[in-house]
Structure 1
Amino acid sequence: MTLARRSLTVVGAVAALGLALTGCVAKADVSSAGRLTVSSTADACTVSSDAATSGTLAFEVTNKGAEVTEFYLLAEDGVRIVGEVENVAPGASRTLTVVAQPGAYFTVCKPGMIGQGVGRAGFAVSGKKVAAQGDDAEQKKKAVSLYAAFVKDQVGQLLPAAKTFADAYRSGDDAAAKQQFSIVRSYYERIEPVADKLGTLDPRLDFRELDAKAEGIDWTGFHRIEKDLWTPAAGAMNSDGTTPATKDWAPSTAAERGVYADKLLADLQELYDHVHSDVFLKDLDAQGIAGISNGAISLLDEVANGKITGEEDWWSGTDLSDFAANVEGSKMAFSLVRDFADGKGAEGRKLVAQIDRGFSALEAELAVHGSLAAGFARYSTVTETQKRDLTDLLNALAEPLSKLTGTILD
């Protein structure tokens, strides 16, 4: 995180393009073919069918395990939440009703309501595109609800992944910690503007060394641990190009590593508690779809203010992973408000088409260097020409995206 990023407002993220929002639909409106059952246990998520026809689907989720569980219908990217039902107590049943468009999806259950879940399986929807249900106000409320679900899911995956990472760092298993670093950060980078609104939380988690010194605060968090894992070579300089990397710094002792690991987990627990609080939900409701739209914009600012320059992950060189996660979060946020912009006449449709093309072009260029799943090349291997190409594509997307909030509120 850079000092410039502290001015960011609102939120970031949710979704793959062109998928309908979930809705509350009367059971009478669900055909018999659209009724499915889900059995959730400690290690399985069994759905009565792996395919359905587009339209209103009702998943009756029965918890046969010993922990409170959740059920998700995810988009093809495996990230966006198309629909979810939570807090299903052991022995209880709850129904998720969703308007599903044709396409490929995933189903997954999450016993304990944390982590990546169990029993993830493909789910195919065939047929024709169907109209979203509900009036404009209801659709906006659904968009906010899906954003909230996405944030909670990302933080729910972040916390256990960060514990595994912190334990490896604490124990001195640097090889394992290095391998996990960019994966853990991707969960955070998709939803970072949420932490950015919580006073000193984002600085504690994500400030770089020079930013912490400039602000006069203790340097902790991801980048403090990063510098320990990728110990600077003799004579190395900090990202300002003038400050020696070892000035006022030394590799952490085993005891200090324990302190930094505990601090990281405590701060992430604070984030987890916040996104599961009534305060978070009330704040989202107050911001409405403008908050989601501004989140799409601000996450591209995250890229411009650090990742594209290579300053964010100065020692690990994993900037492209952060870059990709920010773009993914921005695209997901855009997709939740996409239909509202598309409904604003010819100019709205033109804007949506420009943004769609911008995301596609930027994603294609990022794919040249790797992926979040397989890993990206170190940023030092990216040529100046390739950096200019990424910058040009980022700017080409940022320009129409900056008009999104004004368009949907017009």
Structure 2
Amino acid sequence: MRPRTPRPATALTLLAAAALAGCTDAPSADPAAGASPADGTVAVRATDDACEVSSTDLGSGITTFAITNEGSDVTEVYVYAPGDRIVTEKENIGPGTSYELTVDLTEGSYQVACKPGMVGDGIRQDVRVAGAAEAPDPAAEAAVAAYRTWVQQQADASVPLVQQLRDAVAAGDVEGAKALYAPSRVPWESIEPVAESFGDLDPRMDAREADLAAGEAFTGWHRLEKALWTGEDLAPLVPVADQLVLDVQELAQRVPNAALTPTSIGNGAKELLDEVATGKITGEEEAFSHTDLVDFEANVAGAAQALEVLRPIVSENDPELVTTLDAEFADVRAALEPYRVPGGFVPYDTVTEEQRRELARAVDGLSEPLSRLGAAAAGEA
């Protein structure tokens, strides 16, 4: 995902002092072991200046990276395919905490990257995956096909919405562009993990000004957001809007090539909820427009869609998890309802701190069971 100012992981931690959702205190395996693990678990020891991986020669199929942050700063761990294509990731791993990240890897070369402070390219370790994966499972293939179709629908829907936003900006229609801004982001927010897997699109399209390193260009939605809500002249922003149209068109063209597995779909659902916790609950995502609750709902809808396509698999592997997730998704949707108004939601700057804490509690209730969806989809429940 895009670089962000380092922060703890769960929504309540971001507002108060709750624990990191999805983490455990169990120690990881010895990262010096070196051999390909028989049980598919690979220890990752992240420190301020190292990223130690217990095995760099893996077999294809399901691998669980057991991550322990022994550094002094928040870190994140990525698994990259060639070309820095993101296979999976975990942000906001606090000092002294652990996290298990399950991924389905096919034969090829990868890199595991630890990013202390959640900045830069990270400390990288090359990993090789050998051998052919097991024969495709029809249920898994059906889930992937259904999810890819849905992602394609969302990506296609974003193109005319962003085009309308661009046309309003070009016409100097401030109020019209403001009305179009949040709706134009809904498809993106619902499929963000897939969109971010392409790496180069996300920084251009969705970086916040606070995320940028010195000298980096400020472009995309949030550049337009700042201009619209701070009264800037829109004429110089037309090229930014033009590029955003090109970027959403490129996104729609690249969806057929996105690497998807049931595990990555399940992990992506958790990433979407992390987006709620780290950006929407805090009000950091839409710092000028305060349309955070629109994004919040889209993130939750995307996570719920992941559950829907995985439901036949997870219902067989872990039926209790499905029951729990259905209840927690319902609680999150109910928590959003008091803030709904015709055409969207109230501005987030009108939501009180106590109300934000109530939203955070609902998000945290969903976070832990959702963190198990990827593993359950892989039959690792």
TM over 0.5: yes
Task: Name the counterpart of 2:338.
Answer: 368
Identify which of 330, 335, 346 aligns with 1:377: 346
Contact 1:299 1:330 in 2 (8 A): yes
CA RMSD of aligned residues (A): 2.2
Structure 2 unaligned segments of length 5 or more: list them. 6-75, 79-85, 89-134
Q: How many Å apart are 1:374 and its aligned residue?
A: 2.3
Distance 1:149-1:253 versus aligned 2 partners, 3 A rule: closer
Q: How many Å apart are 1:330 and its aligned residue?
A: 0.4
State yes or no: 1:353 paired with 2:293.
no
Identify which of 308, 311, 316 aligns with 2:281: 308
Q: How many Å apart are 1:197 and its aligned residue?
A: 1.5
AA matched with 1:327: V
Distance in 1 (alpha carbons) for counterparts of 2:356 and 2:288: 18
Q: 5 Å matches for 1:82-97?
A: none
Q: How many Å apart are 1:222 and its aligned residue?
A: 0.2
Residues 227-276 of structure 1: CA deviation (Å, up to 9, x unaligned): 111017xxxxxxxxxxxxxxxxxx3451x122111111122222122124
Identity across the alignment (%): 40
Contact 1:10 1:295 in 2 (8 A): no
The 4+ residue runs of structure 1 with deviation greater than 4 A are: 4-11
Distance 1:304-1:215 versus aligned 2 partners, 3 A rule: farther
Contact 1:10 1:292 in 2 (8 A): no
Distance in 2 (alpha carbons) for counterparts of 1:385 and 1:161: 34
AA matched with 1:268: V
Distance in 1 (alpha carbons) for counterparts of 2:4 and 2:311: 28
Distance in 2 (alpha carbons) for counterparts of 1:390 and 1:375: 17
Q: 5 Å matches for 1:278-357?
A: 279-280=257-258, 283-284=259-260, 288-344=261-317, 348-357=318-327
AA matched with 1:161: L
Distance 1:165-1:7 versus aligned 2 partners, 3 A rule: farther
Q: How many Å apart are 1:154 and its aligned residue?
A: 0.7
Q: How many Å apart are 1:136 and its aligned residue?
A: 8.8
Aligned partner of residue 313 in structure 1, secondary structure: coil
AA matched with 2:224: I
Distance in 2 (alpha carbons) for counterparts of 1:260 and 1:156: 20
Contact 2:228 2:234 in 1 (8 A): no
Task: Name the counterpart of 1:257.
Answer: 237
AA matched with 1:328: A
TM-score, normalised to structure 1, is 0.59
Contact 1:208 1:223 in 2 (8 A): yes
Residues 32-51 of structure 1: CA deviation (Å, up to 9, x unaligned): xxxxxxxxxxxxxxxxxxxx
Structure 1 unaligned segments of length 5 or more: list them. 12-134, 233-250
Distance 1:340-1:215 versus aligned 2 partners, 3 A rule: farther
Contact 1:290 1:405 in 2 (8 A): yes
Distance in 2 (alpha carbons) for counterparts of 1:200 and 1:216: 17
Task: Name the counterpart of 2:150.
Answer: 150
Distance in 2 (alpha carbons) for counterparts of 1:197 and 1:7: 14
State yes or no: 1:387 paired with 2:360.
no
AA matched with 2:174: D
State yes or no: 1:275 paired with 2:255.
yes
Residues 340-398 of structure 1: CA deviation (Å, up to 9, x unaligned): 22212xxx222211111110000011111116x72100001111111001101101100
TM-score, normalised to structure 2, is 0.63
Q: How many Å apart are 1:7 and its aligned residue?
A: 6.2
Contact 1:10 1:193 in 2 (8 A): no
Which is worse superposed, 335-344 or 376-385? Answer: 335-344
The structure having more radius of gyration, on CA atoms, is 1
Task: Name the counterpart of 1:202.
Answer: 202
Aligned partner of residue 230 in structure 2, secondary structure: coil
Residues 194-222 of structure 1: CA deviation (Å, up to 9, x unaligned): 2212222101100011212x264200000
Distance in 2 (alpha carbons) for counterparts of 1:262 and 1:364: 38
Distance 1:2-1:275 versus aligned 2 partners, 3 A rule: closer
